[in-house]
Structure 1
Amino acid sequence: MIGISDIEAAARHIAGHVVRTPTVPSPGLTALLGVPVTAKLELLQRTGSFKARGATAKLLSLSEAERAAGVVAVSGGNHGIALAVMAAALEVKATVVMPRTASARSIELAEEAGASVRLTEGMDSAFELVLRLRDEGLTLVHPFDDPVVIAGQGTVGLEFAEDAQELTDVIVSIGGGGLIAGVAAALRARRPDVRVWGVETEGAEAMSAALRAGGPLRVPVSSIVTTLTAPSVSQLTYDHVSALVEEVLVVPDREAVQGCLDLADRAKVWTEPAAGCLLPAARQVAARVGDGARLGLVVCGGNATPGDLFGWADRFGLL
């Protein structure tokens, strides 16, 4: 299990490379949800998502030989962008494997940063290819099955604990589970009375399926939210969530897209559906907790173009 000392060490290592993002009360979301809401704005992080933290932590931990070999990662979008940008900043050659379902903008950003981008038909084949490339000599930077990466993501929770006022519940999106594992570990140490809730979208339910099964297993992925579509969580992230997280909620893609529209309208931030899914989950949490609820939202990323968001909104009849 990742400890608070691991997360504090990661914070010191990455401090000169990443942004300490704002933690702010949101009057608009407070009015919308009917309870006080504080948002941790990770969409303002370098590369547009929290993923810069874990990628940087891992890159800084590598030996000279590992750096010289070049790094490789699998990603539905944000991890690949983060690795490409941060590797370029540290003068490390990067290869990013993405499914063709990844947004065109994500692929473009990774390529613009200088990474070699390899596309596959889906996330299953993307994970298979990245393991082959690792076996051929590249240094793997896994998006979530790595204690150094999880500690890096945990710095989100460390900052949230330090910067937020009173909170009762914090809600975190789940793909492979690296973010929620790190955030939950940090909050358990710094704010032990705060409950942590996870949220997935339908068709990207690797963690909730693992919790039902008693351990990680492969699941079919069909959600439009490609940044959450890990085909399986890891034993490491499962262990953290099963021990530290209250519950993992699952919401429809349509509600995640509506959440993006509401975040733009009420919170004045432009997000992607991996963050939009926080709002329907927050409504459920507020209803369960009742009077006295004070919610924290980890607004994890904003790497969706207007064309992406309006296309999804039109598809679901939201415009």
Structure 2
Amino acid sequence: MISIEDIEAAADSIAGHVVRTPTVPSPGLTELLGAPVTAKLELLQRTGSFKVRGATAKLLSLSEAERAAGVVAVSGGNHGIALAVMAGALDVKATVVMPSSAPARAVEIAEAAGAVVRVTDDMAGAFALTAELRASGLTLVHPFDDPVVIAGQGTVGLEFADDADELTDVLVSIGGGGLIAGVAAALRARRPDVRIWGVETGGAQAMSEALAAGGPVPVELSSIVSTLSAPAVSQLTYDHVSTLVTEVLVVPDAEAVRGVLDLADHAKVWAEPAAGCLLPAARQVLDRVGPGAKLGLVLCGGNATTADVAAWARRFGLG
């Protein structure tokens, strides 16, 4: 399990490379949800998502031989962007493998940063190709199955714990589980009474299915939210979530997209569906815990284009 000391060491390591993002009360979301809301704005992070934290922590931990050989990562978008940009900044050769469902903008940004980008038919194929490239001598920077990466993501929770006023419930999106594992480890150490809720979208339910099965299992992916679409969680992230997280909630894609629109209208921030899914989940939490809740939302990223969101809104008949 990741310790608070691991997360504090990661924070020291990546300081100067990443942004200490704002932690702010949101009057608009407070009015919308009917309970006090504090938002951690990781969508204002360098490269547009929290992923740069873990990627930077891992890159800075490499030996000279590993740096010289280069690194490889598999990504639905944000991890690949983060690794490509930070590898370029730190003069490390990077290869990023993405499924065809990854946003075109993510591919463009990774290539512009100097990474070699390989696109596969689906996420399972992306993981398979990444394994081949790793076997050829590249160092894997896994998006979630790595204690160094998880400790880096945990710095989100460390900052949230330090900067937020009183919180009773914190909601965190789940793809492979690296973010929630790190955030939960930090919050359990700093704010042990806070309930932590994971959120997935239907068709990207790797953690929910793992919890039901008693361990990681492969899942069929059908969600539009590519940045949450892990084909399975890892034992490492499963162990953290099963031990530290109150419950994992699942919301439909359409509600996640509606959440993007609501965040724009009420919080005045531009998010992606991986963050938008927190709003419908927050309503579920409020129904369960009753009056007196003070919510914290980790708005994990904002790497969706206006064209993407408009297309999704049309698809789901959202005004």
The TM tier, using the shorter chain, reads over 0.9
Q: Which residue of 1 aligns with 2:274?
A: 274
Alpha-carbon offset, residue 41 of structure 1: 0.1
Alpha-carbon offset, residue 248 of structure 1: 0.3
Q: Which residue of 2 aligns with 1:91?
A: 91
Quote the Cα distance in structure 2 between the aligned partners of 1:65 and 1:15: 24
Alpha-carbon offset, residue 224 of structure 1: 0.1
| Structure 2 counterparts to residues 214-225 of structure 1, below 5 A | 214-225=214-225
| Structure 2 counterparts to residues 138-149 of structure 1, below 5 A | 138-149=138-149
Counterpart of 1:260, as a letter, is: V
Counterpart of 1:14, as a letter, is: I
Alpha-carbon offset, residue 78 of structure 1: 0.1
1:224 is paired with a residue whose SS is: coil
Q: Which residue of 1 aligns with 2:199?
A: 199
The C-alpha deviation readout for 1:248-284, integer Å capped at 9, x for no partner, is 0000000000000000000000000000000000010
The C-alpha deviation readout for 1:186-209, integer Å capped at 9, x for no partner, is 000000000100000000000000
Q: Which residue of 2 aligns with 1:312?
A: 312
1:196 is paired with a residue whose SS is: strand
Q: Which residue of 2 aligns with 1:10?
A: 10
TM-score normalized with structure 1 length? 1.00
Counterpart of 1:15, as a letter, is: A
User: Are positions 1:240 and 2:245 aligned together?
Assistant: no
Q: Which residue of 1 aligns with 2:171?
A: 171
Alpha-carbon offset, residue 16 of structure 1: 1.0
Counterpart of 1:293, as a letter, is: A
Quote the Cα distance in structure 2 between the aligned partners of 1:229 and 1:116: 22
Q: Which residue of 2 aligns with 1:154?
A: 154
Counterpart of 2:274, as a letter, is: A
Quote the Cα distance in structure 1 between the aligned partners of 2:101 and 2:240: 29
Alpha-carbon offset, residue 18 of structure 1: 0.2
2:67 is paired with a residue whose SS is: helix
Quote the Cα distance in structure 1 between the aligned partners of 2:69 and 2:282: 43
CA RMSD of aligned residues (A): 0.3
Q: Which residue of 1 aligns with 2:226?
A: 226
Alpha-carbon offset, residue 247 of structure 1: 0.3
The C-alpha deviation readout for 1:13-44, integer Å capped at 9, x for no partner, is 00010000000000000000000000000000
Alpha-carbon offset, residue 287 of structure 1: 1.2
1:97 is paired with a residue whose SS is: strand
Counterpart of 1:210, as a letter, is: A
Q: Which residue of 1 aligns with 2:136?
A: 136
**How many residues are paired up?**
319
The C-alpha deviation readout for 1:131-190, integer Å capped at 9, x for no partner, is 100000001000000000000000000000000000000000000000000000000000
TM-score normalized with structure 2 length? 1.00
Quote the Cα distance in structure 1 between the aligned partners of 2:234 and 2:131: 15
Alpha-carbon offset, residue 233 of structure 1: 0.1
User: Are positions 1:262 and 2:235 aligned together?
Assistant: no
Runs of 5+ in structure 2 lacking a partner?
Answer: none
The C-alpha deviation readout for 1:59-117, integer Å capped at 9, x for no partner, is 00000000000110000000000000000000001000000010111111111111100
2:97 is paired with a residue whose SS is: strand
Q: Which runs of 4+ in 1 moved over 6 A?
A: none
Q: Which residue of 2 aligns with 1:109?
A: 109
Counterpart of 1:250, as a letter, is: V
1:269 is paired with a residue whose SS is: coil
Quote the Cα distance in structure 2 between the aligned partners of 1:42 and 1:9: 20
Greater shift, 286-295 or 227-236, is seen at 286-295
Alpha-carbon offset, residue 286 of structure 1: 1.1
1:9 is paired with a residue whose SS is: helix
The C-alpha deviation readout for 1:37-60, integer Å capped at 9, x for no partner, is 000000000000000000000000
Counterpart of 1:62, as a letter, is: L
